Structure 1
Amino acid sequence: MIMDGRVVVVTGAGRGIGRAHALAFAAEGASVVVNDAGVAADGSGTSAGPAEQVVAEIEERGGKAVANTDDVADWAGAARLIGTALENFGKLDVLVNNAGFVRDRMLVTLSEQEWDAVIRVHLKGHFAPLHHAAAHWRAEAKAGRTPSSARVINTSSGAGLLGSVGQGNYSAAKAGIAGLTVVAAAELARYGVTVNAIAPAARTRMTEQVFAEMMAAGDGFDAMAPENISPLVVWLGSAESAGVTGRVFEVDGGRVSLATGWRHGPERDKGARWEPAELGAVVAELLAEAPEPEPVYGV
């Protein structure tokens, strides 16, 4: 019961990884706002059914939850989402940004609409709820009511960390989320808020084709079950994770890994402006001294 008494908002919680998060938080004692617009895997259509079904599951198990069907990438909708937690449970302790969908294409066939839609739901859909939650926590801090171990957990992806062929829009959005995470961690620390991200791999509507050939481990452990992702997210949402912020964790099956991301590498400083003709040899030296980059997924 490490979440006992805490209030959590989970976006995209009607299915897949988000649903697993909502159930896991409730099982550990949290009151949960289950947000899901009920769209198809490509973002089309809407339905209140998925969010309401997860709320019913939580309540059947003795937990507390309410449904919210707002579009997280809509500014007013994101504000209503945060308001749902405050109106129903009186506070907000944790925001888990998880909502998203895919529209995969190679860059030469990727349309403007497909680019905009994916960037909107993933990147703006992280920023808008984060903005409204952060504004609430700042107001609480300024009023002398410092939030009790407030937490944000964002959802990036291996595609955002390393790139993925056929997913230029998704990779760019998820890389943006990783960047947003470290900035938010730096800015919100003064209000007692930690901000981290996960890059999960699990079997969901977005990945079912990718993992269709993957089988459960011989001991009966389903390595691709979305429920494998949630324990780390619940821990990051708990008071126990104080001091862990601005980090990105890769998680799948029984594996947890800390991604190290971009770092300053080898350098040469001439102390003056370089001539173009000089730089070929310099770049060759830098490449020779640096580790080889991880390969892009799908190469």
Structure 2
Amino acid sequence: MGICDQRVVIITGAGGGLGRAYALSFAAEGASVVVNDVRREAAQAVVDEILAAGGSAIADGGDITSMQGAQGIVDAALAAFGEVHVLVNNAGVLRDRMFISLTEEDWDQVMQVHLKGHFCLANILGRRWRDAAKSGRKPQAAIINTSSGAGLQGSIGQSNYAAAKAGIATLTLVQAAELGRYDITVNCLAPAARTSMTESAMPDMVKKPESGFDAWDPMNVAPLVVWLGSSLARGVTGRCFEIKGGEISLADGWRTGQIRDKGARWDAAELGEVIEGLIAAVSPPQKVYGT
């Protein structure tokens, strides 16, 4: 018996890296898995691994960045397994350049895959789960989004990616607040692992060690994702987890700091001293990656 027996999971970008690790781990815990990736052969290879281990999975090459494509993915899941309980939004791309060197295409493609890619499937499944809840059938559904340290702290040369990932973190908060009434949990994570994206951005840092614990192994992240997708995590929603190797923490987001109230409109010339006092009263933000 696994902690995800009888649950059906859609995982995007699951043909390699973190997505593959999630797919294998969900299947090992009893879930039926829809392995979605635009690289259909890569998705099928992961499915073959799952089937060889006695698990249940199908490959899907549908487009997550359109409602039509997302509906096709959901339809394939329903045809194969009858229901969907968990969505793991994992797929992503990089188009790294310094901000003033970015092209419109660089910006749009990252926003399309990350932000719109997180919207389409979640919107379709969210409506399905809402309708189930209203009809008296508790969906016990879970959405797991993927933010990034770049989205939480910023990252030099990744303004498009960082902006998209920050948007995903905030999207998670709103989804959790709105969807909780329908028995849907929504969480996000900022994982650190060896993937095709991190190998292209920082190959020396994520290189597999010759011996000892491999802190960058994607399988290190998978247990948290599987737990969040299980019924064991029903009381956890609206959270952003950071995880790397054996380290796990909760990110603490923006909060309203100290307030200075004049009781009247401020004069621009007097604000310098006020702002200096407000800055001195709070902890400094974490540094932007790369600074």
Letter in 2 for 1:266: Q
Which has the larger helix fraction?
2
Task: Using the TM superposition, give the Cα deviation of residue 270 of structure 1 relative to its aligned residue in structure 2, in angstroms.
Answer: 1.4
Corresponding residue for 1:42? none
What is the rounded CA distance, in whole Å, between the counterparts of 2:185 and 2:64 in structure 1? 21
3-state secondary structure, aligned to 2:189 = strand
Distance 1:131 1:251 in 2: 26
The aligned counterpart of 1:17 is 18
CA contact (8 A) 2:138 2:183 kept: yes
Give secondary structure in 1 for the equivalent of 2:195: coil
* Cα drift, residue 212 of structure 1: 2.1
Q: What amino acid is aligned across from residue 262 of structure 2 in structure 1?
A: K
Tell me, yes or no, if structure 1 residue 243 matches structure 2 residue 235. Answer: yes
Name which of 115, 136, 151 aligns with 1:144: 136
- Supply the AA of the counterpart residue of 2:163: A
Paired residues in the alignment total: 289
Secondary structure in 1 matching 2:143: strand
Distance 2:278 2:96 in 1: 34
Corresponding position of 2:73: 81
TM-score normalised by the chain length of structure 1: 0.94
1:1-299 equivalences in 2 (<5 Å): 1-38=2-39, 48-147=40-139, 149-209=140-200, 210-214=202-206, 220-299=212-291
SS for the counterpart of 1:154 is strand
Matched to 2:75, the amino acid is G
C-alpha contact (below 8 Å) 2:12/2:89 kept by paired residues: yes
The structural deviation recorded for 1:211 is 4.0
- In 2, Cα distance between equivalents of 1:237 and 1:297: 30
Identity %, equivalent residues = 57
**8 A Cα contact 2:198 2:206, kept in partner:** no
CA distance in 1, matches of 2:265, 2:231: 50
Q: Deviations over 1:65-85 (max 9, x none)?
A: 011111101111011112222
SS in 2 for 1:56: helix
* Structure 2 alignment gaps of length 5 or more: none
Q: TM-score, normalised by structure 2?
A: 0.97
Cα shift at 1:32: 0.4
User: How well do the aligned residues superpose, as a CA RMSD in angstroms?
Assistant: 1.2
Aligned-partner Cα distance in 1 for 2:261–2:51: 62
For residues 274 and 83 of structure 1, the distance between their equivalents in structure 2, rounded to whole angstroms, comes to: 57
Q: 2: distance between equivalents of 1:235 and 1:213?
A: 28
SS in structure 1 at match of 2:34: strand
